[in-house]
Amino acid sequence: MDLLNSCRGLLSPLVLAVSLGGMGAAALPAPAANEYEVKAAVLYNLGKFVDWPSEWTNGPLCIGIVGQDPFGQALDEVARGKPINGREVVIKRFKPGEDFIGCHIVFIGSSEKSRLRSILSRFGTRPVLTVGDMPGFCDEGGIVSLELVDNKVRLTINRDVAEKARLHLSSKLLSLARSVRNGGQWTLR
């Protein structure tokens, strides 16, 4: 049975991490994982379900964090020695004002809520998967929101923004989302 299709939008944090990890335990946090250990695993695994334009497929896959880092060392531990689609994964943390545009995946911390629109506007149509966990992230122009609902990590995906950024999101990833914006309309699952 395909776990990705059978657990749409109702996944517990560890099940979601396993699902996005391709059913392997390599990217799983410890059984007593806290919210940001699970979100770190999900953030890392998102890279497995996104296709970037060919000009963005050379070299390491960069995951950047803008603003206060809620992950601590959890993201580094999840990614250590584990390439995504044959590409080394590099984690970078950025201070206010630093250039984070060259990353493939950018997590925007909730400390940047007041600057969110300004930060997102800097990406324009660049093929960058923007991820956040603050309320309204996808409504403001982010691509993936990681939300803790009833002690479960749930995804909201703004496919319209992903398409403008020339990112192809896999159907497996879209099937996990509790809501997807496509063609200007939100679909709840």
Q: Which residues of 138-169 are buried (b: 16+ CB within 10 A; e: fewer)?
A: bebbbbbbbbeeeebbbbbbbbbbbebbebeb
In this prediction the pTM is 0.83
User: Can you give the pLDDT at residue 33?
Assistant: 66
Angle at 155 between CA 57 and CA 27, to 5 degrees: 60
* pLDDT digit string, tens, across residues 122-164: 988 999 999 999 999 999 999 999 998 887 889 999 999 999 9
User: Can you give the pLDDT at residue 64?
Assistant: 96
Domains, in order of start, for the chain? 3-182 (3.40.50.2300)
User: Can you give the pLDDT at residue 144?
Assistant: 98
* pLDDT digit string, tens, across residues 7-28: 333 344 434 444 454 433 334 4
- Which among 156, 154, 181 is positioned nearest to 39, based on CA atoms? 154
Q: Which residue has the tokens 């050379």?
A: 58
